[in-house]
């Protein structure tokens, strides 16, 4: 099993260690960066659209250069009211950096699917679309991106179920988005149950066995993180 996008918590960390679950921990500030270094966790780092500002971007720049993966980054006009012009500028600068340093990108696309699609077409890269929740542009994104993570709301949110039906198995990954998101998605904080439910639902939608699905999704995750180096705090990534 794996978790391609989560926010750190002691519960998740303990369960990942106990059940040998690989993952990508989301880092959004210096404190979280220090934590993943301390715990030796594989991670992504980015300026989230909710926190978008040029000051934040400038202060995060050294961390972005060290990160094996850039993200979660993007634009959001549904759950935040940060000026879209600023969001776009901060997002595009991170896309440019990721492309220049050959780092994969985890995308947040809420309400800005069309604009983000136009931008990522400008900067070809390995893109992972996190918890895509829109009925539109699925085919267009499929032509440009490498992977889609399955939100824990699969079976509850029509958009997530629709996505899994449309996308081939070799482009799907699992994610929890952290304990709070799991609570919202399945009305429980049972982290393992959320991940297992994703496998069960995909198996049902794709008419394959649980073990086949788990094996394919884990293989996809291994391909994404293969050869990605984690810098120590004293090093810069190349």
Inform me whether the pLDDT recorded for 207 exceeds 90: yes
Inform me whether the pLDDT recorded for 158 exceeds 90: yes
Question: What's the pTM?
Answer: 0.93
So what's the pLDDT on residue 191?
97
Do 111 and 158 contact (CB within 8 A), yes or no? no
26-69 confidence digits (pLDDT tens): 999 999 999 999 999 999 999 999 999 999 999 999 999 999 99
So what's the pLDDT on residue 233?
39
Mean pLDDT, the chain, rounded, equals 94
pLDDT-derived band at 228 (thresholds 50, 70, 90) equals confident
How far CA 135 is from CA of 6, 53, 76, 158, 229, in Å, comes to 24, 29, 16, 8, 35
| CA–CA separation, 75 and 186 (whole Å) | 25
| CA–CA separation, 161 and 152 (whole Å) | 10
Please give the span between the terminal C-alpha atoms of the chain, in angstroms, as a whole number: 29
- Which residue's entry shows tokens 């990605």? 228
HSE, side-chain direction, 13 A CA sphere, residue 214: 12
> For the chain, which domains are there?
2-225 (3.20.20.140)
């Amino acid at each position: 099993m794996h978790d391609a996008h989560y926010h750190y918590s002691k519960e998740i960390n303990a369960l990942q260690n106990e059940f040998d679950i690989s993952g990508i921990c989301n880092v959004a500030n210096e404190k979280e960066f220090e934590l993943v270094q301390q715990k030796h966790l594989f991670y992504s780092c980015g300026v989230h659209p909710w926190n978008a500002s040029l000051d934040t971007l400038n202060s995060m720049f050294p961390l972005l250069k060290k990160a094996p993966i850039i993200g979660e980054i993007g634009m959001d006009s549904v759950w935040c009211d940060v000026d879209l012009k600023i969001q776009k500028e901060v997002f595009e600068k991170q896309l440019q950096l990721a492309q220049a340093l050959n780092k994969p990108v985890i995308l947040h696309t809420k309400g800005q699917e069309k604009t983000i699609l136009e931008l990522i077409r400008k900067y070809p890269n390995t893109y992972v679309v996190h918890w895509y929740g829109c009925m539109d542009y699925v085919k267009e994104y499929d032509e440009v991106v490498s992977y889609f993570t399955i939100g824990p709301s699969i079976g509850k949110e029509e958009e997530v179920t629709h996505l899994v039906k449309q996308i081939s198995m070799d482009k799907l990954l699992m994610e929890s988005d952290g304990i709070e998101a799991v609570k919202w998605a399945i009305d429980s904080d049972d982290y393992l149950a959320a991940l297992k439910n994703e496998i069960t639902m995909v198996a049902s939608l794709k008419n394959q066995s649980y073990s086949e699905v788990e094996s394919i999704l884990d293989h996809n995750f291994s391909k994404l993180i293969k050869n990605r180096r984690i810098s120590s705090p004293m090093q810069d990534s190349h």
